[in-house]
Amino acid sequence: MDKTLMQSAKDNLKNTYAVYSHFKVSAAIRLKDGTIINGVNVENAAYGLSNCAERSALFAAYSRGYKKEDIVEMALTTEQNKIITPCGACRQVMSELVPADTPIVMGDKDGNTKTVKNLELLPFAFTKKDL
C-alpha cells in the first residue's frame, strides 16, 4: 500500500460528524486514474439515518461517474488505538460496489494496519445472483 492513501484518510478524520458516538471514521478510495476520494461517517440523532465513511466514499466516487472497475484500493482509519473493520452494512455495499480482489487496508491511530481482500470481509455476500 502506498502510504498516501492512508494519510489521506487520516487527514480527513477532521471532517467527520460523530457528535453522538464520538467514534470518528474516515475512508479513502484510490482509483485507477490516481484520484483519491474520501468519505467520513456522518451521524444523525435518528441513528438509522447515519452513514458510514466507507459508504460515503463509495457513493461519492459513484456520484462522480466512477465505477467498480475504477477502484484499486480502499483504506479506512479511526482515532481509536485498535484496528477497526467495516460494519456489516458497509461490507454488503462494498461486496457489490468494489471488486472482490481489491485490497482493503484497515488502520488505527498509531499507524498499525491490516490488509485483506474485499471478498474476505463478507465471503457469503447477498448478490444479484441471489435475486
Catalytic residues: 54
- The Cα angle at residue 22 between residues 35 and 8, in degrees rounded to 5: 15
Measuring CA to CA, how many Å separate 37 from each of 9, 40, 83, 88?
9, 11, 21, 21
Q: Provide the Cα torsion 77, 82, 83, 88; round to 10°.
A: -90
- Coil vs helix vs strand at 52: coil
C-alpha 125: how far from its chain's center? Answer: 17
Across the chain, which distance is largest between two alpha carbons, in Å?
42
Rounded to a whole number of angstroms, the CA Rg of the chain reads: 14
